[in-house]
Every structure is written in C-alpha cells, then in structure tokens.
C-alpha cells in the first residue's frame, strides 16, 4: 500500500509517501520559518495562507521524488488536530478533495499520535522488535509535554502532562527574549554546546502526589527574570546560561520519564516531538534510563507527514476510515 500523509497543523506544510511497512518513499517539509520569524512566533493567518499557497507544490514535489503519480495512492491520511484550525483546514480539505477525486479512503489522525508513530518509521530498531510494549512515551514539542503509557499499537493512556507551558514553548520564549527568532530550541542547543550547564541553577519544581506532571511556566519566568537582571552575564556567559537553562529542561523531562518507566515496569522509553531532536536530552535519557530508549530519526523528530501516514495506515488496517464530513479540532485527546 502507498499512503499519502498530509500535515498542516502548525507552520510547516508537510507531505509524505510511506508504504505499509513504514518505509518512507519521500518526505517533503516546506518550512514557513522565514515568513514568521520577524513576528517572534507563528502568525495563524499567515500560516494558513502559506499552507494554501504551498500545498499543491509540496504534493507535486513529493510524488516526483518517489517517482509516483496520484493514481498510485491507496490511502490518504491527514492531521485533523490538535493545532491551528485555519492551518488544519487547508490540509483536511486538500485530503478530502484528493480522496473524492480518486475515490480512495481517507483517514484523520491526531497529530500527537503521529509523533508517536515517528518511532516506527523506516530504520529505527523499534519497528523491528516484535512486542516492544508496554512503552512510556514522552511527547515533547512546542505545544505539548505529555507522558503516555502505550500498552499496544493504538492503545494509549496519558499519565502526566504539563499544567501550563510546554517544554518547547519555554525554550522558545527564553530564546525570543535573547532576540532569537522561532524556533528557539535549535539555537539554544547550539549556544549551549560549549557552555557550562552548572553555571546557574534554574528552578526544578516537582509536585507532591503528581509525580508525572510538568510545569514550565515558572522556569520560563525565572529564566527571563535572570536574563533581565544579569546583563553582564548575558554578555559574557551566554553559552553558559543557555547550557544551564537547557540542562534544567532536560533534567525535568528525564526525571519524570524515568520515574514513569520504573513505576509502570515498561520495556522501553520512546521520546518524540520537536524537542526530542535535542542532543542533551537524547544523551541524558539514554545514559540514565534503566530500559532502552527509542528515538525517531532526527528528520522525523520535528513535524512531518510520514508519521501521519504511518499512523493512518495503522487505523485503516483496523477497519477505520473517515468520510467527507471529516472535521478539524484545535484540541484533541490522544486516548
Ligand atoms: O513537534 P514540533 O516540530 O512542532 C510542534 O508540534 O510543536 O516541535 C517544535 C518545537 C519548538 O518548540 C522547537 O523549539 C523545538 O521543538 N525544537 C528543539 C530542537 N529542535 C526543535 N528544542 C530543543 N532542541 C532542539 N534541537
Ligand atoms: Zn508536532
């Protein structure tokens, strides 16, 4: 089977062709970064207009790279939420049009479930293990920070999430205060590589009775307050400050994830979402976890449509499909 994946939940217009084994035939991500960077964040109306402009070209390019035509597609899988409604609509309406014109099945997918399936794409060893379940999955992106117990394919239980900001959001705001554009994560990582992570201790909160819950709003405020009050350090120790802030985020994520893995006696840990591209997080978790840690290939850490295509196939295989009434959702639970 050849599955066309369409992902437009945020600011990337992403299209991919994947087969039923999770082999990626082509993967196109048309970044809108240049259109948003002067605004310090994503402007929803610009995002939807650009999706509308770019999506046709992205599909043509994806087919060309794979050497396929529209008629070769067996299933269309599209992100239905959570995300920006104006952006999601462009992807979903395009998917419906293709499904209608080709008379091929259509399926709407939760973006976060898509991120989980980035672990099963192509090369990573997880796709080769017969029964890797149960797994603890840390979903960590610009909009979400969740710990999910994955008991089997398509079977999830959210055991913890952030009470306020997502980890990526805290990093992005911290970077923005330093004058960097969106996304801030890769820039903080780059600055922090040569820095001393012990330079400054930022607050690391834990919640009594809620061991798997996160909060990044206090850390974000403490980070920005530190930058405001210490201009000399910002000038002379920027690398150290970035490393210290990054380390705090990584330590918080690692501590909760390992605790969940031990408590739920899982066979492994998966880390997905944009922040899973972070080298310090990858290294710390891999070193400290008592079970094997599975990570997506870096290209599939950040938003892409290959993960949406594979998750769509898993649902379709179980007999599910949507019709032309498929809607979009700004908020959507994974359970
Ligand atoms: O999954 P994603 O591409 O989009 C959302 O669904 O949100 O995640 C984007 C987030 C942004 O907050 C970005 O700063 C962060 O992922 N990010 C990183 C890195 N690459 C992307 N954070 C830390 N280190 C990175 N290397
Ligand atoms: Zn995402």
Predicted confidence (pLDDT) per residue in 161-216, tens digit: 999 999 999 999 999 999 888 889 999 999 999 999 999 999 998 888 899 999 99
**For atom 3 of ligand 1, which residue has the closest CA?**
302
Regarding the beta carbon of 275 and ligand 1, being less than 6 Å apart is answered: yes
**Nearest listed ligand to the Cα of residue 188:** 1
Q: Do domains 2-118+300-317 and 130-295 have the same CATH topology?
A: yes
Regarding the beta carbon of 273 and ligand 1, being less than 6 Å apart is answered: yes
Regarding the beta carbon of 184 and ligand 1, being less than 6 Å apart is answered: yes
> In this structure, are residues 189 and 246 in contact, taking their beta carbons and an 8 Å threshold?
yes
- Pick from 153, 119, 148, 41: which is nearest to 304 by CA? 119
CA–CA gap between residue 181 and residue 43 (Å, rounded): 13
Question: Which ligand 1 atom is at minimum distance from the Cα of 83?
Answer: 6
* Residue tagged 């976060």 (tokens): 112
Model confidence pLDDT, tens digit, residues 80-111? 999 999 999 999 999 999 999 999 999 999 99
Mean pLDDT across 68-85: 98
Kindly give the distance from the C-alpha atom of residue 264 to the centroid of ligand 1, in angstroms, as a whole number.
27
**For atom 2 of ligand 1, which residue has the closest CA?**
274
Kindly give the distance from the C-alpha atom of residue 334 to the centroid of ligand 1, in angstroms, as a whole number.
19
Domain residue spans of the chain: 2-118+300-317, 130-295
pLDDT grade for 33, boundaries at 50, 70 and 90: confident
Regarding the beta carbon of 185 and ligand 1, being less than 6 Å apart is answered: yes
Kindly give the distance from the C-alpha atom of residue 11 to the centroid of ligand 2, in angstroms, as a whole number.
10
Beta carbons within 8 Å of 60's beta carbon, 6+ residues apart: none
Q: Which CATH superfamily is domain 2-118+300-317 in?
A: ATPase, nucleotide binding domain (3.30.420.40)
pTM value?
Answer: 0.95
Question: Which ligand 1 atom is at minimum distance from the Cα of 141?
Answer: 8
Beta carbons within 8 Å of 175's beta carbon, 6+ residues apart: 183, 184, 185, 187, 188
Helices (H) and strands (E) in the chain, counts: 11, 10
Name the percent of the chain lying above pLDDT 70.
99
Q: Is the pLDDT of residue 41 over 80?
A: no
With b meaning 16 or more CB within 10 Å and e meaning fewer, what string describes 100-133?
A: eebeebbbbbbbbbbbbbbbbbbebebbeeeebe
**For atom 21 of ligand 1, which residue has the closest CA?**
274
- Pick from 22, 23, 18, 48: which is nearest to 35 by CA? 48
Kindly give the distance from the C-alpha atom of residue 221 to the centroid of ligand 1, in angstroms, as a whole number.
19
CA–CA gap between residue 210 and residue 200 (Å, rounded): 27
Peptide bond between residue 37 and the one before it cis (omega within 30 degrees of 0): no
Q: Is the pLDDT of residue 34 over 90?
A: no
> Average pLDDT over the chain, rounded to whole?
95
With b meaning 16 or more CB within 10 Å and e meaning fewer, what string describes 283-299?
A: ebbeeebeebbbbbbee
Question: Which ligand 1 atom is at minimum distance from the Cα of 182?
Answer: 14
CA–CA gap between residue 118 and residue 231 (Å, rounded): 41
Q: Is the pLDDT of residue 124 over 70?
A: no
CA–CA gap between residue 290 and residue 266 (Å, rounded): 10
Q: Is the pLDDT of residue 123 over 70?
A: no
Regarding the beta carbon of 168 and ligand 1, being less than 6 Å apart is answered: yes
- Pick from 150, 177, 137, 183: which is nearest to 295 by CA? 137
Length of the chain: 335
Q: What are the start-end ranges of the H helices in the chain?
A: 33-36, 44-66, 85-102, 111-117, 167-177, 185-192, 217-229, 231-236, 238-263, 279-288, 306-317
**Nearest listed ligand to the Cα of residue 189:** 1
CA–CA gap between residue 113 and residue 88 (Å, rounded): 15
CA–CA gap between residue 228 and residue 210 (Å, rounded): 32
- Pick from 276, 267, 306, 261: which is nearest to 139 by CA? 276
CA–CA gap between residue 51 and residue 90 (Å, rounded): 7
- Pick from 13, 15, 10: which is nearest to 2 by CA? 15
pLDDT grade for 36, boundaries at 50, 70 and 90: confident
Tell me the CATH class for 130-295. alpha beta
């Amino acid at each position: 089977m050849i599955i066309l994946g369409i992902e437009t939940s945020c600011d990337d217009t992403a299209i991919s062709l994947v087969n039923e084994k999770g082999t990626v035939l082509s993967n196109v991500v048309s970044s809108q970064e240049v259109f948003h960077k002067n605004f310090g964040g994503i402007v929803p109306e610009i995002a939807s207009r650009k999706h509308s402009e770019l999506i046709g070209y992205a599909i043509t390019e994806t087919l060309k790279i794979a050497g396929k035509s529209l008629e070769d597609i067996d299933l269309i899988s599209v992100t239905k939420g959570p995300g920006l409604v104006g952006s999601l609509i462009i992807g979903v309406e395009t998917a419906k049009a293709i499904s209608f014109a080709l008379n091929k099945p259509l399926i709407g997918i939760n973006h976060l479930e898509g991120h989980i399936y980035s672990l099963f794409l192509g090369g990573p060893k997880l796709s080769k293990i017969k029964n890797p379940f149960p797994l603890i999955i840390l979903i960590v992106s610009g909009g979400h920070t969740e710990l999910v117990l994955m008991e089997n394919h398509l079977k999830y239980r959210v055991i913890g999430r952030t009470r306020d900001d997502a980890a990526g959001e805290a990093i992005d705001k911290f970077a923005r205060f330093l004058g960097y554009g969106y996304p801030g994560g890769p820039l903080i990582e780059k600055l922090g590589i040569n820095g001393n992570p012990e330079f400054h201790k930022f607050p690391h909160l834990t919640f009594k009775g809620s061991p798997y819950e996160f909060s990044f709003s206090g850390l974000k405020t403490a980070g920005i307050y530190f930058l405001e009050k210490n201009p000399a350090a910002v000038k002379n120790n920027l690398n150290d400050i970035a490393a210290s802030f990054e380390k705090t985020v990584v330590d918080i994520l690692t501590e909760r994830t390992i605790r969940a893995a031990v408590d739920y006696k899982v066979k492994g840990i998966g880390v997905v979402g944009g922040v899973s591209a972070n080298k310090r997080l990858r290294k710390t978790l891999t070193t400290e976890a008592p079970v094997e840690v599975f990570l997506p290939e870096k290209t599939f850490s950040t938003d892409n449509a290959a993960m949406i295509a594979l998750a769509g196939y898993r649902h379709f295989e179980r007999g599910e499909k949507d019709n032309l009434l498929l809607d979009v959702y700004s908020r959507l639970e994974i359970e």
